[in-house]
Structure 1
Amino acid sequence: MRRTMVASVKTAPFVFLLWVLHCALGRDVTLPLGPLYRVAGFPLAVPCAVSAYEGPRTQDFEWFLYRDDSGGRQLGVVSTRDKDFPYTPFQARVRNGEVRIERDSGDAVRLVIQKLRADDQGKYECYTPSTDSVYQGNYSSMVEVKVIPDTLQISFTRSLTSQPVPEGAEVKLTCSASIQSEQLTHLSITFGKRGVGESSGSGAGGEVSTVREIISIDNMLAVVPGRSFKKRYDDGEITLEKRNGEGGQGVYVMRIKAVQPDDSGSYFCEAAQWIRDPDRSWQKIAQRTLDVGNLTVQQLAESLSVTSSPRGEVTLQIGTPLILTCEVLGLPSDVNSGLLVQWMKRGSGGPDGVTAGGVEVEVARMSTDGVVSWGDDLSRASGGSMEKVAEGRYTLKLFSARPLDTGSYRCVVSVYAGRRNPGPSVAATLTQKSEGVVVNLKTKDVKVSAVAQLKRGPLLKRGSTITLICNATITTTRPAQARVKWLQWPLPEPFVRRSSSDAAPLDAPKKPKLVAYLTYDGVANIITNGSEISVDRLSAVGYRLRVHTATMEDQGMYACSVEAWSQDPHGGWYNTGVEAESNAVTVYLYARVEDLLFIPLIVGVSSALFVGIVIIASVTCCFMKRLARQRARK
């Protein structure tokens, strides 16, 4: 008896497990938790799925409705297997597709009522006919649907006109919306745009499918930019704010601070009502869309023009002022735009005028906030100015023009449409350039000559001081000074001795090394890092280079290059661009006496060492041979 009871206790959990598995393997039909609150006039979609079934993968579904006032009587709504299944209240709606079954998969469908009516309220049953070998499990499920009245209201206070809006202008759209519901529902607002050829899909129950959302306040009151407008939202160019209006309405204002050509299109405002179902998911239960007009953006490139004056070519005397004017036309007066104005120059000045080509460099610029900065030639900051003399007019003034100021000038204007003070990462809306103004400067006749010579004296040896003289002559009508550069070439191979007045050999290197130079105002600059070097001015025309304690690396051919600097009427000094290079002087270092004495010493020591080695080798050799003969006799 005890054994039988023990066996029964052990068998009971196993039987219970089999029963659980049996139930779990039975057919199961599932619907969402209810009740589901939906708005009259808008869509209802109820999903239904079947699982743990036998038979084909594609299952049939039938929907029934139990109205609140039907006393428990069922109405056939729609079926996947019988087209004559709908009862009279649903037959016409099923035929025109307003009531239908949409299949998500073989065993999952949705009951869709496109426009919900008040008498559609009740309990909906989803039934799946059996395809199982054994009838077990759940073959139907029910959910309650509550139909609430449509209280969603939407309006706008101002629509877009058909007049083109200039690029960079601010556009503001205002939309009002409200809901009055006994249930806890939320409201979302979306501003969007359609391109040409896209349908609106507006009206009760309509769905906007081809929408470019600009910005929204979602059902959780969060501001969400559209994917293609996120950067502009992050930059603060697109904003959306909510205000409290009359009668409990919410007023929503979207601003586009600087419209772009891509902003052209048809704009709409969409309001949606949301509710949270018992399964904690948010559902959109109502939606209305209003068109607020078309926007056409007039591109800035169609109206903007940049000119510079004087036009063509201008020739000035050195030292006279150079004044260039840049004028920006075609900017919309009602758009607050920032301008970056630059003066660029191409070509360089020389004694023969403007050199064609070359790299375009910046002379000066005025930023959007009015700050002036100068290019590579910072000396111009004290010798020139850049000013805004009127709206859209900018001048560049060089108080005293120099030969290096010759070139082709043009004005470059970058417009930041609608952005008075753009950030450093903001790209310009449009950049335009004016035609070039060729500036030539006349110089008085300037002639320069240079002669280099080696100072007479004893033969130069290693450790001596090399002294070179450069006689520079400048002929001009204005005060002038010389800028003297000393150049060095290495001795050519093979070296042929020449007199100090001879020119450089034909096979001398073409690019010399700059040793030192003396500026026009007497400042010495030593370039080489080798021997001790000094440069000075001996007289009005004489300049000297001295290489102290010369080494063999200081040998070579030396020449001086002379640049003529002149003084303008305002007292400023400038490079005339006229220069001359002297003849080449050969510097060769002879051996010192102690070096000559050291040679025989080395030769003598080497000879003595050689003789000693020969003697030792001969004696050793003879001694070894004699020793060998003595051993042989024994």
Structure 2
Amino acid sequence: MRSKSSAMAQIIVKAVALVVLLHGVFQSVVCREVTVPAGPLYRVAGFPVSLPCAVSSYEGSRTQEFEWFLYRDDSGGRQMGVISTRDPGFPYTPFVSRVRNGEVRVERDSGDRIRLVMHRLRTEDQGKYECYTPSTDSTYQGTYSASVIVKVIPDTLQISNLRSLTGQPARGETGEETDIISIDKMLEVVPGRLYQKRYDDGEIKLEKRSVEGGQDLYVMKMRGVRPEDRGSYYCEASQWILDPDRSWQKIAQRKLDIGNLTVNELGEVTLQIGAPLVLTCEVQGLSSNINYGLLVQWLVSDNIRGREVEVSRMSPGGVVSWGDELSQGRGSLEKVSDGRYSLKLFSVQPADSGIYRCAVSVYNPDSSLDPTTAPIYSQHSQGVTVNLRTKDVSVTAAAELPRGPLLKRGSTITLICNVTVKTTGPAQAQVQWVRTPIPKPVLKKGQSPSSELSMPDPPVPVTPELIATLRHDGVAQSLSNSSEVSVDRVSVNTYRLRVHVARPEDQGLYTCRAHAWGQDPHGAWYDTGVKAESYAVTVYLYARAEDMLLIPLVVGVASALFVGILIISTVTCCFMRRLARQRAQK
């Protein structure tokens, strides 16, 4: 009997141990985990750095929040806030201006994957970077942060040319950048796709030579130049490094303008999205003995802008300013030589299409050049039409109110927007939610309240209110001034708007707008200009049960007060009359 009891006890102990083991395994499966690249990572000062961070096995919202900290090598282990996805006031003082101007930012790849991007790495940015994810779990378990060491090395990449092309570009010249031939990071010669046959035939060669001082000289030779070889030529050098995870990363890059092969006059040009645009303005006929003051402007007009606007200008003192927000920060305006001014847009977008003209104003050398100073001569060049080869893009948007209980004051309003973007290559959608108040019916002259109500004639125009936006990069922006709202991406094509603790002013006609975004060959995202708007969905809040009970309660109290006052008034009145008769008899 004892042996049976002992055996049974052993079985129970083993079963408990197995349950504990399985519980531990289950806990290990659902524990939160934060991952960053293995370090140390060596990056070059003055160039961009991108640090990915991902969180997995978490509970709660699919859109997780992230915070980045930096422990500088010279800080003695002190923590410094860099940027947060949830708190605009999170950055410490050294990063406030860099975050504000976008030099340091967070780009969201998905709800639980982001990247810390620093546009220009500085020497003092060296240190340990910690990615922290605030808990959304029911129990605190797993890892909530991960760190990676970043080493900032000096910029030693230099590039120069021994011989420049002598061809001069004509006014209005532009071109599309194409790879001719290169040596990749594995030191292999790789011809461009359009030049493969000419390389195989020996028409194009790339040679590496050694020169004094330990420098490397690369020489490209082209035999049998063709008409399509006209244009501006560049030499680009890149520095690569093998990270600890065995992946190659480009850490530095420089580009050198070699010159123009031949004169290429253009009245119209068509470019691929992402290609560079180069326009040259040449001023002739001025005496070289007089130092005139020249104001050079580039203007553009198209159907979108509706009028001719200034892209950029160079003052007589050489100061460059930008007037077109679409081009600011994406190009340069340079004085190439005496009388020659070059406008460059590094990567064109659909909004850059239009008719470009150069305007030159000539001032006396001793002019003060204040706004009231008139030029002695002004001239506009002929226009150069710039067209963009855009992809075939189509987008649709459909809003719906999911079935559920009647919406009441205090409920959460949930609206769904189904968006479809059809195009070639990567595409994203930017979704906006707008609300228009429900039109109030009015009575026409001579119409009784019981008769059929009609709308105002003519209707009063109402401007829709922008409620929230989910940008193409996953960043949500709430713009409502009433209730708390949130917007997220539920699935690939489904976007959701939630209005929490709804108020009467949250009623209205809700519409979702979808804007299609594409990606150029350099990886930058741009607005294709193609958009769609859904039909309006009516949201109405019904009265709550307690609100309905309040009506008879108020009516009952009012009725009771009325009856009480009536009784008291009647009794008082009768008593006063009786008292008056008694006094009269005496």
Which is higher, the Rg of structure 1 or of structure 2? 1
Report the TM-score when normalising by structure 2: 0.50
Report the TM-score when normalising by structure 1: 0.46
